[in-house]
Each structure stands twice: as structure tokens, then as C-alpha cells.
Amino acid sequence: MPRPFGARNDKNFMEKINIKIDGKEYSADSGQTILEVARENGIDVPSLCYHPDLQTRSTCRMCLVEIKGQKDLKTSCSTPVAENMEVLTESPRINRARKINLELIFAQHQEECPDCVWFFNCQLLKLAKRFGVKITRFPDRKIQRKITQCGPIVFDQTKCIDCRNCVDVCPVDFLSVENRGADISIENSQDEWKECIACGQCILHCPVGAIEGVGEFEEAQELGIKKKKMRVVQFAPAIRTSIGEEFDLKPGEIVTGQLVAALRKLGFDKVFDTSVGADFTTFEEAGELLERLKSGKNLPAFSSCCPSWVKFVEFYYPEFVPNLCTSRSPQTMLGGVIKNYWAQKEGFKPEDIEVVSVMPCVAKKYEIKREEMKINGLFPVDKVLTTREIAYLIKKNKIDLKNIAAGEADDPFGMPSGAGVIYGASGGVFESALRTVYFKATGKNPAGDEFKRVRGQEGIKINEITIGDKIIKSVVVNGIRNARKMLEELKKNPQAFQAMEVMACPGGCIGGGGQPVPTNSQLRKKRAAALYDIDAKKEFRCAHENPALQKVYKEFFVSEEIIRPILHTSYAPKKKSAIMTLKNSKETR
């Protein structure tokens, strides 16, 4: 995403300069903004619309500062530093303007705090307290606005403060600013050629919780009622290094054991690890990749674990649908294995089991409802809760995740390989597949870091991978805008790649739309690094080494006829889905 000033991205222009903030000297890089420098030095300048992932729009006007020698107050998020600049971030003049401004913002925003993504971390409330704002001098202006839903995403205009972060972050331009002045509103696209792919990035980047996943958080509460004989929960790879943030732990802190214990305390009968599902996915996908490389058909092979990416292909690039690997995503993979293999073994009927997934992702809510997912008429997963939702439940039940004694996930799906864990980071799916491809091609396991090159947060990573006598031209992508570029490239040059991994969210699932707020590249880096730490310490780094997986294949998946319906799915071009109106707007003024 382009940034107007970005010395950090543009090393050539970096130059050290000196500035004074609130009377103290600081050194800064030319091209940085005042806000960036202030933040780096622990000075808390209020802001709402500023987001390090996005281009600066300066719509909220909260970050005003005084600059010596300049008549007008300036927004620090948009003003680059200059040599010898003297800045004040607090003064009676600034605070007076900020306070009234904040009141005006509040009067746009219909508070629904207990039910909000930001409840435990709300900037608005913090600022209100800091500036002693009376929230009631102006009547709420947007009570009568509408609430819409598209797929699993709910857009609530009554809370929107018109900052436009969602519009800028949406990779498919599904959201747009309509009308002018006080009538401005953020609208879902009615364009028949535009579709929301449910990535949830708009949720993460909305400063005031005006967009949320469906059921957030009402649905989480229904969990209290057990509806079936056996209730199973599985948790995704990317959760274990992110959920700690919800409990004031350091970003990237590994809390797998505590999470398991907390889930158990919430009353689930069994706690399984979706990373084991990922091992199944790897195993199947590696097979597909090898087969396609051999036959030359449907190349490049596309990864298909990310439902937003899958939907993107189905809707925007249907000509590429055959390229998607048919292996299921880890959660529906494991769901299928649980309801078929495990059910049989434990003496349950598939319909006696409720499978709940804890995912870093909102699109997973959509994925489980896809008709193509059904096995013998039954959905493999019944419910998806996001990282945020499960954190909310844990807090609500007064479970102290920080200090709870660590538990262990249940057999037989509690012990993943390292490959299954790195699924949560961009490059992880492909690296896992490569480890198994390597084994299948050479009969040996690769060194743990053999395919390290595909890791990292960059949006597009192009690599030629040599395995035995094979060279695989590959690209690993995160972010749908980048994916679009690569698909356009493929249209021009179909031979450009043979394998392509795509995750819709920045950095992969660790930056997923269901993850804790706030989000930024530093946090994502730490969450990812921790996953690789787990991997490095694992006895088994490859999916095919996982004894649980080997056992299931030996006992159950003995033929293609059994494997196909349970471990694979299908895709087809999709039409635009309906935009539902949950609450209609009335006359607004």
C-alpha cells in the first residue's frame, strides 16, 4: 500500500535530522512524519484514522500539533519532520480543538461497547477520558442509519466515523464512499462484478468497531448450551502466538498449552489441534503438486487453504478454478476426519458430534457453510469462532489465560508436526508441502530449514526450488492485491510459475481478519517468528512423519474412494452474493 512519506521504505532518502518535540531533542529520519517520530519515542499523540498499514488520509483530525513558526495547527500524521522543527503535542490550544473534535466524532458513533471488537482496548473511550469529553452535548446523529451484512461481515453505519480505513484496506474495492458532506456513507458495492471475499481486513482496520464478523460476540455466548453428545474444539495454527495479546502478554508469546487448558475449561469435551489437520492437508497437497508436475495439467497448482483466496478466484478469475488444489483446508480436513474416522472409532454417529473451530479468520465462517464442504450431507465443521471471540469468552468466564496451568491437546489429534504449525504464516503452507514433496521425490527428509527462502512478510516471494532433478518455479503471495498482480502475470505468461501459495491477509493467517486488534507489521512479524520457533523445536518437522497421520492412513484412508470425499472438495465459479439489510435506514436528519 502506497505511503506518501516513507523514509523507512525508501532507504535511499534516509537522512538523520534533529527535531524538538515538547521541548526535548530527538533524532529522526527525514521523510518520517511527526506522528511516527513521536510514537517511536513513546509520546502519545492521539489518533483515530492513522494506521501504519495504510496511506495517510488525515480525516479524523485528532493528531493535531503546533509547529513553531506556523500559524495553523497541523496534523502530525501527515506532516513530515524537517530539520530543527519544534513541535508541541500538547497545549491548551491543541487540547481545546481536540476535545470539541472528539465530541463531534462521538456524536456520530452509536456506542454499543459491551458488544464491540474494541471493547477492551477502545481508543475512543480512552480519548474521551483523557480529554474529559462530555459525550452528551450533541444528540447521536446516525442512530437511524442502516446495518447490512454480506457473507460473514456486518457493516454498521450507526457506529461509523467516516474515516475510510476500510475503504482503503479492502483489496477488492467492495467498499466505497458515497454522497457528500454530512450525508457521506460507506456503502457495499452493488456492482454485479464486485464481491466481498470475507477477508475481514476491514474489521481489523476500523478504529471504532463499525464492522464485525457475524455473531461477534452474541454467537459466542450461545456456546454455553451443548447441543450434541460430543463437543469438540479445534484451534488453528496462528492462534497460539496471537491470542496472548488479548491478555496483555507480549506479542508473539507462545500460549498453546494455556489455550488448550482454557478451552477445556470452557467445557469442550475434546480439544484438538488444527495443525494436525494441516498435516493432512500437506500430505494430500504434496501429492497433488507432484501429480500435476508430472502430468503437466492444471499448472500452476494454487494453494487452497485460504477461503478468501478461493472465493477471489471463483468470483474474479473463474478461468483459474481448475488450478486450485482440491485438498481441503486444515479445519474442514480435520472436521471430516473427526466426524468420519474418529467418530467410527469412538462409537459416535457423525451427527452426534459438534465441531467448533477457533480460527484467526472471518472467512472460515463462510467456508464451513459452503455446500461443497458437505460429506454425506453433513458439514464437517459446525461453528467457527475467531481469536477475538474465543478471547472474549475466556475473559467473560473469568479464566486467567496468563496464569492457567498449561494443558495438552487430546489424542489422537493433539500433536502436529512443525510443518503443521507454520501454516499460520505466509509461506508456511508451501514450505510444508515442499518438505513432503522432497520426501516423496528423494526418499529422504529435507533439513529443517531447507526451504527457508519462502518465509517472510513480503507480499510477493518468487523462488526457484530445486528438488532432485526437479526445478519448481514458485511464488508465495500474501495480500489479494498482490495475488491479482500475479494472476494477471499468469494470464500473460502461463508458464511463469508451477506452484503458487496465496493467503489473503498480510503476512498470512497471523494477520487474519479474526485476530486481535490492533494489527500492524511489527505484531505480525512477531507472531510469525514465534510459529517458526515452535517448528524449530519439533521432533517431527514434516507432515508425513506425524504418527497420528500415518495411523489414520493405515487404518482408514486405504483407497481413493474413501480419501476423495473426505479429504478433498471442489470449486466452481461463483456469482455475487446477496447484501442483506439487517436494519434499514430512516430519515437521517
In the complex, the residues that contact ligand FES under the rule CB under 6 A are 47-50, 58, 60-63, 75, 77
CB closer to ligand SF4, 203 vs 289: 203
Q: Helix (H) and strand (E) counts for the chain?
A: 19, 19
Q: How far is the CB of 52 from ligand FES (least distance, A)?
A: 11
Rg, C-alpha atoms of the chain: 25
Does the footprint of ligand SF4 cover residue 174 (CB under 6 A)?
yes
Identify residue 195 by its one-letter amino acid code. Answer: E
Binding partner at 72 among ligand SF4, ligand FES, other proteins, none, C-beta below 5 to 8 Å by kind: other proteins
Report which of 2, 48, 1, 41 is spatially closest to residue 18, judged by C-alpha positions. 41
Select the span of 111-119, 204-212, 367-375, 392-400 touching ligand SF4 (CB under 6 A): 204-212
Select the span of 36-44, 91-99, 120-128, 278-286 touching other proteins (CB under 8 A): 91-99
Binding partner at 107 among other proteins, ligand SF4, ligand FES, none, C-beta below 5 to 8 Å by kind: other proteins
Q: Which of residues 153-182 bind other proteins (CB under 8 A)?
A: 161-162, 177, 179-182
CB closer to other proteins, 59 vs 577: 59
CB closer to other proteins, 47 vs 387: 47
Select the span of 128-136, 207-215, 439-447, 465-473 touching ligand SF4 (CB under 6 A): 207-215
Contact of 65 with 88, CB cutoff 8 Å: yes
Q: How far is the CB of 181 from other proteins (least distance, A)?
A: 5
Give the contacts of 172 (CB within 8 A, at least 6 positions apart). Answer: 194, 195, 196, 197, 312, 316, 480
Q: How far is the CB of 58 from other proteins (least distance, A)?
A: 6
Cα–Cα distance between 456 and 425 in angstroms, integer?
8
CB closer to ligand SF4, 76 vs 282: 76
Cα–Cα distance between 111 and 130 in angstroms, integer?
18
Does the footprint of other proteins cover residue 97 (CB under 8 A)?
yes
Contact of 264 with 235, CB cutoff 8 Å: no
- Among residues 208, 278, 290, 381, which is the contact residue for ligand SF4, using CB under 6 A? 208
Binding partner at 47 among ligand SF4, ligand FES, other proteins, none, C-beta below 5 to 8 Å by kind: ligand FES
Binding partner at 174 among ligand SF4, ligand FES, other proteins, none, C-beta below 5 to 8 Å by kind: ligand SF4
How many other CB atoms are there within 10 angstroms of residue 444's CB atom? 9
Does the footprint of other proteins cover residue 80 (CB under 8 A)?
yes
3-state DSSP helix/strand/coil % of the chain, to nearest 5: 40, 15, 45
Identify residue 233 by its one-letter amino acid code. Answer: V
Helix, strand or coil, per DSSP, at residue 165: helix
Alpha-helical regions (H) of 380-520: 387-396, 418-421, 428-442, 480-492
Binding partner at 63 among other proteins, ligand FES, ligand SF4, none, C-beta below 5 to 8 Å by kind: ligand FES
Q: For Cα atoms 342, 432, 497, give the angle at the middle one, nearest 5 degrees.
A: 125
Record the cell numbers describing residue 231, joined without a space. Answer: 463437543
Backbone angles phi, psi at 163, to 5 degrees: -80, -25
Cα–Cα distance between 589 and 586 in angstroms, integer?
9
Helix, strand or coil, per DSSP, at residue 93: helix
Select the span of 27-35, 36-44, 199-207, 455-463 touching ligand SF4 (CB under 6 A): 199-207
According to DSSP, the residues that pair with 205 across neighbouring strands are: none
Select the span of 27-35, 159-167, 224-232, 375-383 touching ligand SF4 (CB under 6 A): 159-167
Q: How far is the CB of 176 from other proteins (least distance, A)?
A: 9
Q: How far is the CB of 362 from ligand FES (least distance, A)?
A: 25
Q: Which of residues 547-586 bind ligand SF4 (CB under 6 A)?
A: none
Q: How far is the CB of 47 from ligand FES (least distance, A)?
A: 3
Select the span of 103-111, 331-339, 519-527, 560-568 touching other proteins (CB under 8 A): 103-111
CB closer to other proteins, 66 vs 246: 66
Cα–Cα distance between 491 and 346 in angstroms, integer?
49
DSSP per-residue string spanning 280-307: HHHHHHHHHHHHHHHH--SPSEEP---H
> At what angle are helices 428-442 and 274-295 packed, to 10 degrees?
60
CA dihedral 209, 215, 217, 220 (to 10 degrees): -160
* Contacts to other proteins by CB under 8 A: 4, 56-61, 64, 72-73, 78-80, 93, 96-98, 100-101, 104-105, 107-108, 137-138, 141, 161-162, 177, 179-184, 589
The residues of the shown chain that bind ligand SF4, judged by CB under 6 A, are: 153, 160-166, 169-170, 172, 174-175, 186, 196-202, 206, 208, 210-211
